[in-house]
Structure 1
Amino acid sequence: MPTFVTKRPAAAALAGLIVVITAACGSSGGGRAASASRAEVLAVKIDNVAVARPATGVERADIVYVEQVEAGLSRILAAYSSDLPQVIGPVRSARETDLELLRQFDEPTLAYSGAQSPLEPLIEAAPIDALPPSKAPNAYFRSENRAAPHNLYLRPGKIRHASTRVNAAEDLGLRFAAPPPGGVPVSERSASYPSARFTFTWAADRDKWLVSMDNIPARTASGDRLAAATVVLQDVDVRPSRFRDRGGNTSPFNATVGSGSAVVLRDGKSYDVAWQRKTVASATDFTTKDGKPMTFATGQIWIVLVPN
């Protein structure tokens, strides 16, 4: 299990990380659910150190992925499809983990500020529409209110991408439905990286989990609290990759191929579930103790990849 407080696909060169939540409606073994229309996913890599907060536009994402990066810090990969804000950011650089996260989508667009030189060939080979500032200079701008590199923002309206109003999670086969039987009432859960901490506190009046980062309430750019309808704290192996950042720190790789445990938070309860992803080409199944697919509350989903 992950460490909790108060109590969680492409060529072989791209082996790594997908988090795909599979529906109960006739899908097994990690397949996509049939859909009359497909999501057009815009994924944006977002800075998440203290000086980069509050981020802009995170609250409008369908799925918010949290991953460990260098020095035990965290970054966000936000997936948009059903709704697009006017501005998103601050935008930061891509990691190997992002490429495998995005394999679950059908040729998504990835907005990012750049990448380590050795990683660039893998980005170019990945089935994504890579969109750094060099390819869309008019879509990015630098804010005068913050210092670089925490001041790069994206205007989605200036790229060839439009909302399909199809939720990215539903497009993956996520089943939004009533909660399964059982579950343990819980008011708060936390998960930690070496240099980052996330706490989710149940707010019954909002039917959501309020987000705190590093013991500070996380807010939107307009001052509202960040909140999730469902939180997944997924136990994963985090190992050194062959890539390093500009400071010489080894970039961690968050791996989700295999199986493990996870905790799902919804409706004021905690559910112990199992996850399994058989290959880099398959989706991740989340199942309850009786072997049935886990269901999720309608609304934004946060998936926090928690080191074993």
Structure 2
Amino acid sequence: MTAVHGQRRVRPRRATTTAALLAATLTASLAAGCTTSGGSRDDGRGRQQPASPSESLADGGSALAVKIDNARAARPHTGLNAADIVYVEQVEGGLSRLMAVYAQELPKAVGPVRSARESDLELLRQFDRPMLAYSGAQSKLKPLIDKTPLQARPAGRKSTAYFRGPDRPSPHNLYLRPARLMPSAPGSNVLTTGFRFGPAPAGGKAVAAQSVRYPAARFTFTWSRSQGDWLVAMDGKAATTTDGQRVTAGTVVVQYVRVRASAFHDALGNNTPYTETVGSGKARVLRDGRAYDVTWKRPKATDGTTFTTAAGKPMRFQHGQVWVVFAPAP
């Protein structure tokens, strides 16, 4: 089967008064517009030739990955619904952070932006020289970032691409202007993830909700038949963006992985967990109100991740945004 990328869904805008004021504040700080790419393209690690010179790697045709703060003080997020993929990982103290990957649409702003972790480098190897936007990294990690085949864009090197919002205290107020890093959205051909999209496979179990817990964070995905999406909640509260939209996902992947201690610690001495995304294991895929217990496999870092049903068939995702939650394997 040929894999087809998730097509963008148009979400209705339901801005509340508070959210509208916050969005207006951020908009006033911006000098760049929203850019989209034309059409969906094939995926499944198929390395097609770019459709035009503007999509070549030399011209910035690479995925944009943004490390996003997910502390309570960092919410609501900005620009999250425009992402093609949202990865969730555990960090110090049992908290969580997000890695949002953009290809088909570049929002005006994304954030709040926070620092990179060692696990991010392995995760991003599946893309071809992706651009990584982050607030910074501890000094011992910087040599590893320099050796990884990605385009590092920390706040210090591209200061005009970042700005501080006035609505919340530092460090939860750093935002990125994606258009200052790349002229246009590169298109879905850069999403070399191995994900396959299409009709749902046979089987699965009807589920109303699925939760994933870290020591100090909780995510719940609730099926909305009326919206045809999974509604995202964080720490027991409905997740929204600064323009008042609910955060939703077409497909949710709970991927069970090994989470081990790394050689890095935060300023308080807490160890930084390392999430291993190369290997194999079990996963649960949520789509269309049903849950599918599958296996995942990623032989090496430069490969995408394949998901296979119990019948030995490729697990196909629903079109739209994909959330991948890395959960510690039992």
State whether structure 2 residue 228 is matched by structure 1 residue 207.
Answer: yes
Matched ranges for 1:72-111 at <5 A: 72-111=94-133
Residue equivalent to 2:27: none
Instruction: Check whether the contact 1:87–1:155 (CA below 8 A) recurs between aligned residues.
Output: yes
Return closer, same or farther for 1:166/1:86 CA change in 2, 3 Å cut-off. same
Instruction: Check whether the contact 1:263–1:273 (CA below 8 A) recurs between aligned residues.
Output: yes
- For 1:99, the aligned partner's letter is L
Structure 1 counterpart SS, 2:160: helix
Return closer, same or farther for 1:256/1:158 CA change in 2, 3 Å cut-off. closer
State whether structure 2 residue 169 is matched by structure 1 residue 147.
Answer: yes
Post-superposition shift, 1:304?
Answer: 0.2
Matched ranges for 1:116-155 at <5 A: 116-155=138-177
152-161 or 40-49: bigger deviation: 152-161
Residue equivalent to 1:256: 277
State whether structure 2 residue 256 is matched by structure 1 residue 235.
Answer: yes
Instruction: Check whether the contact 2:132–2:151 (CA below 8 A) recurs between aligned residues.
Output: yes
Choose from 7, 32, 35 the match for 2:45.
32
Instruction: Check whether the contact 1:79–1:168 (CA below 8 A) recurs between aligned residues.
Output: no
- For 1:214, the aligned partner's letter is D
Q: TM-score, normalised by structure 2?
A: 0.82
Structure 2 counterpart SS, 1:242: strand
Residue equivalent to 1:16: none
- For 1:291, the aligned partner's letter is G
Choose from 189, 192, 208 the match for 2:210.
189
- For 1:133, the aligned partner's letter is A
Residue equivalent to 1:3: none
Post-superposition shift, 1:293?
Answer: 0.8
Provide Cα deviations, 1:236-295, integer angstroms capped at 9, x if missing partner: 110000011122211000012222110000001000000122233333221000111100
Task: Work out which structure has the larger RCO, using CA pairs closer than 8 Å and 6 or more positions apart in sequence.
Answer: 1
Instruction: Check whether the contact 2:193–2:305 (CA below 8 A) recurs between aligned residues.
Output: no
Provide Cα deviations, 1:48-72, integer angstroms capped at 9, x if missing partner: 0101000100110000000000000
Distance 2:190 2:229 in 1: 19
Post-superposition shift, 1:168?
Answer: 5.0
What are the ranges of 5 or more consecutive residues in structure 1 without an aligned counterpart? Answer: 1-23
- For 1:117, the aligned partner's letter is S
Return closer, same or farther for 1:167/1:207 CA change in 2, 3 Å cut-off. farther
Provide Cα deviations, 1:105-158, integer angstroms capped at 9, x if missing partner: 111110000001100000111111100111111111111111000000011122
241-250 or 64-73: bigger deviation: 241-250
Choose from 188, 193, 197 the match for 1:176.
197
Distance 1:302 1:161 in 2: 26
Distance 2:323 2:300 in 1: 23
Distance 1:81 1:258 in 2: 26
Residue equivalent to 1:217: 238
Residue equivalent to 2:266: 245
Q: Share of identical aligned residues, percent?
A: 53
Return closer, same or farther for 1:162/1:194 CA change in 2, 3 Å cut-off. same
Instruction: Check whether the contact 2:123–2:301 (CA below 8 A) recurs between aligned residues.
Output: no
Structure 2 counterpart SS, 1:279: coil
Structure 1 counterpart SS, 2:141: helix
What are the ranges of 5 or more consecutive residues in structure 2 without an aligned counterpart? Answer: 4-43, 56-60
Instruction: Check whether the contact 1:48–1:75 (CA below 8 A) recurs between aligned residues.
Output: yes
